[in-house]
Amino acid sequence: MIQIYHNPRCGKSRNCLAFIKESEKEFEVINYLENVPKFDELKSLIQKLNFEPLALVRQKEKIWIENFKNKPMTNDEIIQAMVTYPILIERPIVIKGNKAIIGRDLDNVTDFLQLN
């Protein structure tokens, strides 16, 4: 089943969700601002994305700039910052099996959903 980490206030996230709905594939919506992923869940998600944790951070967010920018941090500290402030998590994230992508580009989502 497809999962989407979704923020309903984000236009890119709404577009991605609408696109997934149109695909008629079975999916689950995770509103990550209300159902904040636990540390281990986020760490696993980052592995599925094949990212370094910093690549998943919305580095232009005010919270990041004021509290974390230019501060030396371990990967675990970066993950914990996203758990503490889930608004820092890039969105939307589309998950299928043991792989995930950032779903901001619908062409990438199309290709991703077509993979076995």
Catalytic residues: 10
Alpha-helical segments (H) within 60-105: 62-67, 75-84
Polymer length in residues for the chain: 116
| CA-based end-to-end distance of the chain | 12
List of residues 6+ apart from 8 with CB closer than 8 A: 14, 31
Distance CA 5, CA 68 (A): 23
